[in-house]
Amino acid sequence: MKKIKITGNRPLKGEITISGAKNSVVALIPAAVLADDLVILDGVPQISDVDSLIDILEVMGVTVERDGETLTIDPRGLKNMPMPYGKINSLRASYYFYGSLLGRFGIATVGLPGGCDLGPRPIDLHLKAFEAMGATISYEGENMTLKAVDGQMHGATIFMDTVSVGATINTILAAVKAKGRTVIENAAREPEIIDVVTLLNNMGAHIRGAGTDVITIEGVERLSGTRHQVIPDRIEAGTYIALAAAVGQGIKINNVLYEHLESFIAKLEEMGVRMTVSEDSVFVEPQGSLRSVSVKTAPYPGFATDLQQPLTALLLKATGQGTVHDTIYEKRVGHVPELARMGADISVKGDRIAYRGANPLEGAQVKATDLRAGATLVIAGLMADGQTTITNVEFILRGYSNIIAKLQALGAEIELVEEA
């Protein structure tokens, strides 16, 4: 069993560099199998979700080479075969293979997706889009088969009932080699979607409107190989900015795109966090007193649900009381009882998290219930007096590249240990 042990209340100082976006790369890798030649991705984070996706590709006959943060994918040996259930069930983003395999072969047999338990995250929007484009759906055991009626997807106009990043990307993947035009209305606008579209257009796709709520795809017959730089991870950046405000004595976060974090940084400024935002970095100064605020998540460009939890740890340093309302994932509250175990005045009331600060935290044994909850507990452990031990750290390693080494370089007393 892997655990993270932290001796807290140590001042941190220095620089940290943000890795490539986890929420981009888990879609870029499945997108690569649509190509007829090599796809090279630069800036790929060293996270377990990437390891799982590589395993899936290799089982399906794809050759993958990894050199540091560069991933070379050769999809020419890709076999049209059922995907391995165990691997598919290990991460939710495996569902992007639905769209890419439909686009390449007109058929996909896959296991149902896994990932963090954050409440209802149905894939009905994905399936509705595929059906509109001519696919039939059948189930056998834990597998689902999607099949284009005449062997090729067909363009359609699709209105997303709710804004969904996953459904938007999956529809794009299924549409790039479809016959005719596909229009996605009420599309998600996240930067990760723009990143995936940039890759596909460089491969020869014809996609317009990424970053707006209407995306148009003109199907093409083939896609070529290309080289692509993954965008910086805005969620990792926000996590380390919150950490720097909580325990830093001057920390510079490099490889940050401010335009991807405007709503988050605006909330920090409302709290009174002192920082200097530059073209591609943020310097977080040592902090004085902070003001409590209330947070409400929303689809991009609103406050990101993935940053709700990391910010909560910083909110515990603010004077006063406030609430956090996650409108995207109703069960994104697993960090609350763990923070309370460390002495935080925090609870779930109805559909909101209520907190009161500032009160000191004490080290404790806590459990990561999902990826971002785990990051929250790392921040809390660095804030707390004494030692904190975090279990279920596999969640954290799914999404934060080299987190232990990055924090140790800032002076944190943190280690990853493996116990029987």
122 annotated among ligand-binding-site residues: yes
124 annotated among ligand-binding-site residues: yes
State the span(s) of the chain assigned CATH 3.65.10.10. 2-19+232-418, 22-229
Q: Which fold has domain 2-19+232-418?
A: UDP-n-acetylglucosamine1-carboxyvinyl-transferase; Chain (3.65.10)
Q: What is the pLDDT averaged over residues 389-413?
A: 97
Strand, helix or coil for residue 150: coil
Q: Give the pLDDT score at 87.
A: 53
N-to-C CA span, the chain: 6
Strand, helix or coil for residue 389: strand
Strand order in the sheet with 181-185: 157-159, 181-185, 214-218, 206-208
How does residue 122 score in pLDDT terms, banded at 50, 70 and 90?
low
Strands 2-7, 413-418: pairing is antiparallel
Of the residues 62, 78, 83, 116, only one is catalytic, namely 116
326 annotated among ligand-binding-site residues: no
215 annotated among ligand-binding-site residues: no
Closest CA to 5 of 404, 420, 406: 404
Q: What is the pLDDT averaged over residues 73-91?
A: 75
22 annotated among ligand-binding-site residues: yes
How does residue 390 score in pLDDT terms, banded at 50, 70 and 90?
very high
76 annotated among ligand-binding-site residues: no
Decide yes or no: CATH 3.65.10.10 for domain 22-229.
yes
Q: Give Cα 57 to chain centroid, integer Å.
A: 20
Give the single-character DSSP code of 362: B
42 annotated among ligand-binding-site residues: no
Q: Give the pLDDT score at 123.
A: 84
How does residue 81 score in pLDDT terms, banded at 50, 70 and 90?
confident
Assess whether 116 carries a catalytic annotation: yes
